[in-house]
Structure 1
Amino acid sequence: MTDKAAVVSQDIIDLLKVLAATLVTFAASTLVMLYVIYLLAQYGANLPMIGAVPLSAPPEMVPLLARNQILPTLAAVHVTATGLALVLNAHTIDMALLITAKAVTVVVTALLGFVVGHMIYLQLTEGAAIQLGPLSPVFIALLGFLVLSSWLSVPNLRPLGNLRFIVAAGMILLGPLLLVWL
């Protein structure tokens, strides 16, 4: 294995560690937050400071995330931007796209952590079934941004030489098609 391949692999491993930590942290934090809200609503509603704060559980996030087209749209634009960046030769654009893909991956994981914590809370307090099926678009977006921040990142595609122009054309065409498919 070359040093560059080892670095790429270590970058992916580090990103996966960050994603796992983010998911667990946001799921646990959401669960604790919702139980604190529940306890404050039950036992502290008559206190002046607490009584003034609206203590209601956050709205159900699953339908909001499942019907949201922001993530697929952002993924489609990112694929097109990656294609354009491959045609250009600008280190700043390469790094901007890489950082954006990693940041969106972490944010989507944080949202999923919130949803997991909320679902666990609903399961424990109301016996509601945990259904991950409606979150399929979010999981697809997460997988897409994970791939865009690792294997299909511009810095990883640059070493393809002139073949990168064919990949660039494919990505520029694929971006708009993703809007239709997703």
Structure 2
Amino acid sequence: MSQDFTDLLKVLVATALTFAVGTLVMLYVILLLAQYGANLPMVGALPLNAPPEMVPMLADNRLFTTLAAAHVTAAGLALIIASNTIDMALLITSKAVAVVITALLGFVGGHMVYLQLTEGTAFSLNPLTPVFIALAVFLVLSSVLSVQNLRRLGNLRFVVGVGMVVIGPLLLVWL
């Protein structure tokens, strides 16, 4: 495991924990304000609603599938041409999307803990399976299948690039 990938994993763990704890604290503050602060002039005028359920939105993985397909197609095009700027942009994008997915998973985790503690709702990670798959795909795209790593294939990179340009749109159909 490279140092770059290890650093990315550390960032993902810190992001997930930060968003989970932040969400849990935010939801308890909303609960406390709704119960004890409703008669305060500034708080009583605000509608204090719990945030919407995120699990159904995250379970609908069309956004992540579309981003992965576009990324694979762009990586194929980047392999065909020679541009360090595009290579770096794709690497940063794949890492950023992995961090955003992890932040959303941290939010859902904090929300699930809140629901477990306040309402006794059972944990169910089954609807989040597509999100975990999308996270794994972007981790692979930012490490093993990064454009920098694929450039080491020499002239075979052109064949891989054409293959990725063809596979990108097919991902929209398959996933």
Shorter-chain TM-score bucket reads: over 0.9
Question: Is residue 2:35 matched to residue 1:42?
Answer: yes
Q: CA RMSD in A?
A: 1.0
2:13 corresponds in structure 1 to 20
> Structure 2 length normalisation: TM-score?
0.97
Aligned residues: 175
Question: Is residue 2:54 matched to residue 1:31?
Answer: no
Alpha-carbon distance in 2 for matches of 1:122, 1:169: 47
Deviations 1:29-81 (A, max 9, x none): 10000000000000001101111222111011000111241111010110010
Q: Which amino acid aligns with 1:144?
A: V
Structure 1: state its 5+ residue gaps: 1-7
Question: Is residue 2:149 matched to residue 1:149?
Answer: no
Structure 2 matches for 1:33-182, cutoff 5 A? 33-182=26-175
Shift of 1:155: 1.1
Shift of 1:26: 0.4
> Structure 1 length normalisation: TM-score?
0.93
Identity of counterpart residues, as a percentage? Answer: 74
Structure 2: state its 5+ residue gaps: none
Q: Secondary structure at the match of 2:121?
A: coil
